[in-house]
Every structure is written in C-alpha cells, then in structure tokens.
Structure 1
Amino acid sequence: MSSEDGFLGLTAGSLPARPPVFVDPQASVVQAARAMRAAQATACLVGTPEAVQGILTERDVVRAVAEDAAPDAPARDFMSREVVTISGRELVSEAFLAMLRHKIRRLGLTGPDGRITGILEERDLLAARFESPVALAADIARAADAWDLARAHATLTRMTPRWLGQGAGVDRVGAMAAAVRDQLFARAAVLALETADPGPMALLALGSEGRREQFLATDQDNALVLGDGADLSKAHDYALRLMELLDQAGLPPCPHGVTADRDDWRMTLPHWETRLEELARNPGPEAVLALSMLADARQVHGSRELAAGLSRALAQAVSGHPIALRAMAREAVRFTPPLTIFGSLSVQDGALDIKRGGIFPLTQGARVLGLECGARVTGTAGRLEAAVRAGFLAEGTATNLSQALDFMQELRLRFQARDLDRGREPGNRVLPGELTPLERSRLQECFKAVASFQEMLENRYKLKLFT
C-alpha cells in the first residue's frame, strides 16, 4: 500500500496545521502584516479565540496596499467576515469539499470546544502528496478556452478513481467530482458569453450529474431556464456555443437530446411551467424521461431563483397529476436485477450490467418517492432519508438501499477506471468472476435489496393495475 492510500479517509485533525495568529480587532493592516510575518503565516484571525470576527489573508493585505490604504487603516476593514471552519473529527475529503464549495484555500480547524485551534491550508494537503481538487478547480477558473477545459476534464478523469483508493467514501468521491465538474460547467458558461449574452438565466445539470452521483462523466444532460427580458435569439446562440465548448472539453451531448441547445430544453420559466403541466398530464415514455431528468435539476450557473422556480413548477405539476408518479414508478421496475431464480448472479458472457439492473431502479424509485414527499434534495441517499421521515420507508430499509447504492457505484467506478486504463470507453459492465467471493456475495445482497424495493414500489403505486 502506498503512502497515499487511505489519505482521504484520515481526519482533518490528524494533519499538521499551523497554530492560528490572532490580532486585536483594533489592529491596523500594517500591524497584522507584521504579526503574520513574524509567525511566517499567510493569514491571521481578527479577534480572540473566544470571539473571532474575521480572517485577513496575504491577498487582503495586497489589496489594502493597492487601494492606497492609510498605514493605520484597521485590519477589520479588509478582512473576510466569514471564517469557514471544519472540525478536527471531519474527514480530509470534507475539508476539500469545504474549500471547493467556498472557493477558498484555507480553513479554520476547530477543537472539541468549537474554538479554532489551527489553520489548515491547501498546501498542507498537497504536502501529503495528494492531487488537489482545489488546485484543479482553480485551473478551471483560469481556463481561457475549450482546450484548457479539456485538459482539466482529463485530469479529473484520472484523479477520480484515485480518490476512492485514497480512502474517500464513494459518496464523497461523487461529491468532489461533481463540485469540480460544476466549476467546469460554470467556466464554460462564462466563456460562452463571449459569443452571446442572453440575459438572466440558470444553467441546470440534470440526471446523475444533478444528483452528484456521476463519477466518470461520459456525456452531458443540461437545460436552461431563461428569465424575464432574456433575448431568445441570443439564448439559442449561447446554448450552441456552450454545447460546443463542453463537447470539445470531452463531454459530448446526451444521445437522447437532453441538452440546452434543443428548444424543448431551453425556455422561459412560464414556458417551462406550461410544458411541465403537459408532461405530467400525459406521461408517455418521452414525458417520463423528461420528468425524471428534471427531477434531478441542480443549478450550476446563473440565477438560483430561476432554478428554484422550475423545481417548484415540477413539484406542482406531479402533485396535480398522480398518474405521472405512477408512470415514473413503472420505469423503476422495468428492469429486474440480474439474479437467477435461485438468487445467484445472472451473467452473460461473464458480465452483468450493474446500472440497468441495480443502480437505475434504485435511483429512479428514490426520485419518485422524493417527488411524492416533497424532498428538496436531489441525491438518492437524501431522498431515501426524506422518504423515511415521510413514513414511506423503514429506516433500516433506507440504510440498506443507500449502502447497496454505494457498493454498486464503487464497483462500477472500479471497472470504469479499468476500461479507461485499457483505452476503452467507461461503461456499466461488471465482471463477477473478477470479484472476491465476499464481493460477489455482497453484490447478490444488493440486488436482492433492489428487488424488494421494486416490490414495494409496485405495491405502493399499484403498478400491476397500471396500463
């Protein structure tokens, strides 16, 4: 085992962190800079250990000088008032996620009493010889064209399987990969504005990307919600350029046409509301696909209000037409887990499709339950937890399903990484013959849990009576 194995499974408190430098709230920028220099620190906390008012970094000092601030200008005028912290008990993967989400490079490390006991910087993590998703996100933020994005996406593809090997749980790997890919989508969205600026809008990630359950992305599913005053002609040109950038970056468009350059995936909010009503009222196969994808919608760029408006419209549409939920639930039982009548794994040519018979039925069923109980989260585990709170599922059942999903995703990622190493497109085939006996046994139990879940869905939504 290498020195990097299990790194992401370590706690943040187990890493060396610099002791915090405190300066008085009345201290000047110059005094704060001297305190930082004396401690060889890149930041200081303004206030006391009991009452931290903010954080001042080297960049803030440079800004003060650039703005010709007076020598006695108070440090609090240039500090950031929000100090993002993480408990020493949290995993290193959580530290990376916090840095990614807040677009920062240092965190306050807190002890059992909640006080900041150290400053954990990205370079502290890099010193442990880990490829940093924070650094990759920074590279994406500086990307000037599609080729820069392509290099970043290729790096993410290489790094994602390694994170799993370094001890991050599969849910954390998915969250980190999604956070970095969000940065890529957002940067592409900004670069596309050079071609056309349509005005107010929201770019939404759909499907597994929206759920933060995509690991090695093979295509893109997205939509645009346009706000009041948006230029529809420019929105068309913008969407075409955006899809072109993402394609060149290594994310080809969805083969089913679920992309914002299509008219039916790029609309104003009122038009979306009308369309969602029509889809829920007449839930044929294409409507079920659209409703399912939109149920996972997550804003990655632009207006959060427009994205929230679409989510509300979807919830209202399906609540007014229960037939839509039944049609979506029927999709969750369309494929059965690959088990023989004796409960052993059923393989063809030595392989089985872990998505078709395992991951998809579980995520689709969770979508339906999430919509019915009004869950605001898009992740499968969160939807199952919401179903427990609503009384739809027993807590033990939800836990078993979440664990089954994690294990199936872990196997899928492992075989996808191997496909890439062999120069093949990553797929959903798992070879049971290459699993250990314990892994094969556990996979059987996962499929049995999915089969029981499908039976519950059939009963809840009376699918045997639904034609």
Structure 2
Amino acid sequence: MSEDFNFASPPFDQLRPREREQLRDALSVGYYTVDEVLLEAGAPVPCLFVLMKGVIEERGEDGKLFAQYGAEDLFDVRGLFSGSSKHRYQAVEESIVYELPAAVFHQLCTDNPQFARFFRADLASKRQLERRDGQNLAEFILTRIAPEHLLPAIEVGPTLPLGDAARLQLSRGADALLVREDGALGIVTRTDLMTAHFRDGFSEAQPIGPLAHRPLSHVELGDFLFDAMILMTRQRIERVAVCEEGRVVGLLHLTQVLSLFSTHSHVLALRIARAESEAELRAAAETLHTLIATLAGNGIRLRFIMQLVSALNEQLLERLFELQVPPVLRGRCCLLVMGSEGRAEQLLKTDQDNALILDDGLPVEQGLLLMQRFSAALLEFGYPPCPGGVMASRPEWCKPLSEWQRELRELPLQGRPEQLMRLSILADAWPVAGNRRLFDSLRECLYELAGDSSRWMSDLALPALQFDTPLTFLGQLKTQDAQLDVKRGGIFPIVHGARVLAVREGLEERGTLGRLVALKALGVLDDSLVDNLAEAFELFLQLRLRQQLDGQRDGREQGLDVSRLSRHERDLLRFGLHTVKKFKQSLTRQFHLETR
C-alpha cells in the first residue's frame, strides 16, 4: 500500500527521488479501531503518522479536545522533536494511517532543509514556543507556584519595635515581615522600615503595627506564576503572600517572577504609571500591540493574555484620567469602561466604550467637557469613537448617580428597547478611575433587578438568538466567499447569553468565562455545555486575533477567512459553532423564547 503514498502533497513534494525511495521503504501501515489509542500522553513518539482514512482526536490529560485530524493530516510532529507526546491520540472512527519511523523522519529532515522547514513552521503554528533568555514561555505559563519559589514568611506582632524588626529581617534574609493584628495580616517591607526611620523620624523603639499595609494580597500555593504576575501588575505591588489551606507559607517577590518571564509587561506597567504627559502615555500605549503579538505568537493561552492586557489597559486609562482631571474633581466622578474592555476581554484596540458617573452636585456640563478631552486623547492613542455613541463624551452616558439609578428602577415597569440595550451595556461596566464608591451604588441598583422573571428579561435575552449560527443544514461551516462572521455567529451569542443569565442570577463575575463558571456552579447550565462553551469562546477569539495580527491588525475586523484555517482548525470551529447552537437552544427554553 505504500506505493499509493501521495508524494504530491506538501511537504513530501520537496523530497528528492532517492529520499522518496528511502521513505517508501521505511513506511508501514497501521489499522486502528474505534477508541483505540495510537499515542498516550508522555509516551515516546515512534513515528510520524499520516492519516489515510478515518478520524483521530488529540486530547489533553483533562480531556480537552485540542485537534481533530482527517485524511492526509500529519501528527505528532511536536512530539517527534520534543521526544515525547504531550497529548493523547485516539481513533474516533476506524482509521488507517501511514507510519514513518522516527529515525527515518529525522534523517530526512537532516538531509533536506526544505522538508525540515515545513515541519518546523508547522510546529510554530501549533503553538510551539520559542525559548527566550533560556526559559521556555510555555513552561512559565504552565508553571505553578512551588515552595522553592518562596521567600520566608515571618509573622510578628504589631508591638515589635522598629529596630528589632530591621534586625530580624537582616538575620533571616527576609525583605518583609507579616504583622498580625486583630486576626488580620498586613505586610511591612524593608523599604517601609527605612522610610519610617530615616524620612519620617520613627525611633527604633516605636512599634511597627501602624506601618503595615492591608489587606494582604495573596495567591494559593499551586496557582500559576502568571496569575501572581497579573495580580502584581494590577495592584502595582512587588510581593504577594502565598497561602496553603488558609495559612501563609511564604512570600513571592516580583524579581522571582520576572526572572522566569521576559515579555516585560511589568516594565510596561511602570512606564504607564510614570508617564508625566499624554505623549509619554501614548508611546507606552503603542507598545501594547507588540506585547499582544509577542504573547500570541508564542502560543500563550488567550485567557492569560486577556487578563494581562486588561490590567495594563485599565492602568493606561486611569493614568490618562489622572493627567486630565484635576484632583479636586476625581473624587466626584467615576469612569467606567464597558463592552469587551469592561469584561476584561479586549485585545486589539476597538471602539471606545465608556461612561461617567457624576456626584449629584457636579454639573453635567463640567463632566462632559472633561470627557470630550478624554475621548479626543483616546482617539490619538488609536481607539476610534464608538459608532453607537456609547462614550462618556455624550450626555446619555455622562450623568449624575441619581439619574443612572432612576433609569434602572424604571426598567421593570417600562422595559423599553432602548432601556434594555443600555442595561445590557451597563451589565459589563467596570470602574477604572475616580470614586469607585459611585459605581458600587450603581451596581447595587443593578442587582435589585436580579431574579425578575417578567417579560423584559425575555426581551433582554432575545438578541442572543438574533444572528444565525453559520452552519449548513448538514452541519458544515456556512461561509460567503470563504468568510465567516465569527463575532455575530459565535462570540456574541456566548457573551450575551452568559451576560443575561448573570443579570438574572445577580452574579458579580466580570467576564464571560467567569460567568460561565459561576453559572455552572449554580446548576443553571449543564457542566459539559459550559466546558465546551468556554473552549469555543476562546477558540473563536484566538482564530480571530491571529488573522487580525496577520492582516489589518484592526480589533474591529470581524470576518474569519476559513480558507486560511487548517483542516483540524475548521473541525474545531465547526464543533464550537454546534456548541453555540446548543447554548441558544438552552436560552430559548430558559427564557421561553420558543414563540418569539
């Protein structure tokens, strides 16, 4: 059967006659029944598999589907280069595969650079991560906080004298102490002790209790190092406590995290924080795109990128607010972001989506003037105006708190379409600057609407069914000129459906993935449906981002060129859209939309 091998298919068309003979002589044929395993995770990869017939699935240890292979697809190239298979490969149909021994494969790669280049490029496309500063980025992202990463956690009482605290730090090689007072822990760093003594004149005999910073930020032992870096970036701190079963077991310092990660995201955060002019801030904003491209190009999982970019975006907006709004007015208003930015899901720059809550005593005209300057600056930073006018520079999105609350309280009685639209937008609101207590008051009013089963809730859910799922009658991808609108057909139904269910249940979760997890915990959605929705959501965003980075680099570009996807990516896309279809059916039942 090896005589039937297709040498016209890339990359085998790059082989010279002698190399083709070498391949043909070494080739064997494998037959696999349904559910038979070809490769186990962690096992050595004995050969390059070339699928002739059937379907093979690639799944992680947690059962997550990474790829589905059909006729003429190749695997496990990554494992051939790394030495072992990262995932499990299993037949889901009766399958026939060509098997090229690993030794022969590597010899062909050595002898034929063109042949080898194809596979190494394929590795990059499958998120094979390049090494930087001797540290593999994939290893960093998947590295969990372990005891060897930690500095000692030394707990003391609030009455410990400052001089004794400094000597204790020196003797134990620590740069911070934990101070417990009234059952709560705070932290006092070496810098705090120096500042108190040399700048503020504290004597060595004075207690350190008043110097402690609270609340103590913490992560759990076993959490991802990346999560710790996001927390440090968001809170602009250099240490976090690490807990295990409610007990602090050590401290994690920024230097240890940065020694394992080199995208310089924290350096970018410092550039934003230290910007003294709009020009400096704009220069820092321009590097965000490079950071996103670097992380995405190195295969970093999208949910991690979104968290990091969200933290940096919020700091950028807050710093611009501080540069433009006089200190006397900052406590009398609160800047909100909405849409993908409010959900912490924005990647590339999209439309401005923001609003301003004013203290009831602050004139609206004054707030509008401030926000018009703010919007103009964002435009210079590369954020275009919102086509729908959802911007704090417009009167309908710049109002006193009492006006916002009045509008929400009228909703159950009136339920007008424009009210529903604004409620949908406000459900994603998040404060980034100013007096956040104003937002807390608005959010309390929003939660008062939770659990209302009146008709307006069904009206609010209806837009999730507005756009057809781009699948044919036979369940294949439905495209127009090879284009598929993945935002309308895939992303929006998941985002809006999760948002409406979150409003109904009174959930505080900010993003789509967090809302899905919370809905799963409440039993509102089936476990398997939630898991598949989360994977589909991330897949849609990832495919869209990759094409945006390769093309116009415009966050507003919605189309997906299906012709540029590999076969297994098309299969995953189809599977994801079928999941969206099931989700829409669930929404139809829950909100009684069968006749709408």
TM-score, L = length of structure 2: 0.70
Q: Quick one: which of 565, 576, 580 aligns to 1:446?
A: 576
User: Quick check: 1:227–1:269 contact (8 Å CA) kept in 2?
Assistant: yes
Identity over the aligned pairs, expressed in percent?
Answer: 31
Is the strand fraction higher in 1 or 2? 2
Relative to 1, partners in 2 of residues 1:424 and 1:82: Cα closer, same or farther, differing over 3 Å? closer
The residue number in structure 2 matching 1:459 is: 589
Q: Are residue 56 (structure 1) and residue 167 (structure 2) matched?
A: no
Length, aligned pairs only: 460
Q: Are residue 377 (structure 1) and residue 531 (structure 2) matched?
A: no
1:111 and 1:378 mapped to 2: Cα distance? Answer: 26
Q: Write out aligned runs for 1:63-142 (5 A).
A: 63-64=195-196, 65-110=198-243, 114-117=247-250, 119-142=251-274
Q: Secondary structure at the match of 1:465?
A: coil
Q: Secondary structure at the match of 1:224?
A: strand
The residue number in structure 1 matching 2:306 is: 174
The residue number in structure 2 matching 1:151 is: 283
Shift of 1:25: 6.0
2:147 and 2:300 mapped to 1: Cα distance? Answer: 15
2:297 and 2:247 mapped to 1: Cα distance? Answer: 31
Of structures 1 and 2, the one scoring higher in RCO (CA 8 A, sep 6+) is 1
1:317 and 1:111 mapped to 2: Cα distance? Answer: 38
The residue number in structure 2 matching 1:224 is: 356
Q: Which amino acid aligns with 1:455?
A: Q
Q: Secondary structure at the match of 2:284?
A: helix
Q: Are residue 430 (structure 1) and residue 563 (structure 2) matched?
A: no
Q: Quick one: which of 401, 409, 412 aligns to 2:533?
A: 401
Shift of 1:62: 3.0
Relative to 1, partners in 2 of residues 1:23 and 1:291: Cα closer, same or farther, differing over 3 Å? closer
Relative to 1, partners in 2 of residues 1:371 and 1:78: Cα closer, same or farther, differing over 3 Å? closer
Shift of 1:254: 1.4
Q: Which amino acid aligns with 2:445?
A: A
Q: Which amino acid aligns with 1:11?
A: R
2:210 and 2:509 mapped to 1: Cα distance? Answer: 37
Q: Which amino acid aligns with 2:424?
A: S
TM-score, L = length of structure 1: 0.87
User: Quick check: 1:384–1:398 contact (8 Å CA) kept in 2?
Assistant: yes
Q: Which amino acid aligns with 2:465?
A: V
1:238 and 1:413 mapped to 2: Cα distance? Answer: 33
Q: Which amino acid aligns with 2:568?
A: L
Relative to 1, partners in 2 of residues 1:18 and 1:391: Cα closer, same or farther, differing over 3 Å? closer
Q: Which amino acid aligns with 1:298?
A: W
User: Quick check: 1:178–1:212 contact (8 Å CA) kept in 2?
Assistant: yes
Q: Secondary structure at the match of 1:55?
A: strand
Shift of 1:264: 0.3
Is the helix fraction higher in 1 or 2? 1
Q: Which amino acid aligns with 2:254?
A: E
Q: Secondary structure at the match of 1:332?
A: helix
Q: Quick one: which of 358, 369, 374 aligns to 1:237?
A: 369
Q: Are residue 8 (structure 1) and residue 141 (structure 2) matched?
A: yes
Relative to 1, partners in 2 of residues 1:465 and 1:22: Cα closer, same or farther, differing over 3 Å? closer
Shift of 1:315: 4.7
Consecutive unaligned residues in structure 2, runs of 5 or more: 1-129
Q: Write out aligned runs for 1:251-266 (5 A).
A: 251-266=383-398
1:431 and 1:228 mapped to 2: Cα distance? Answer: 49
Q: Write out aligned runs for 1:181-192 (5 A).
A: 181-192=313-324
User: Quick check: 2:491–2:540 contact (8 Å CA) kept in 1?
Assistant: yes
Q: Are residue 201 (structure 1) and residue 333 (structure 2) matched?
A: yes
Q: Are residue 274 (structure 1) and residue 395 (structure 2) matched?
A: no
Q: Are residue 368 (structure 1) and residue 500 (structure 2) matched?
A: yes
1:419 and 1:289 mapped to 2: Cα distance? Answer: 32
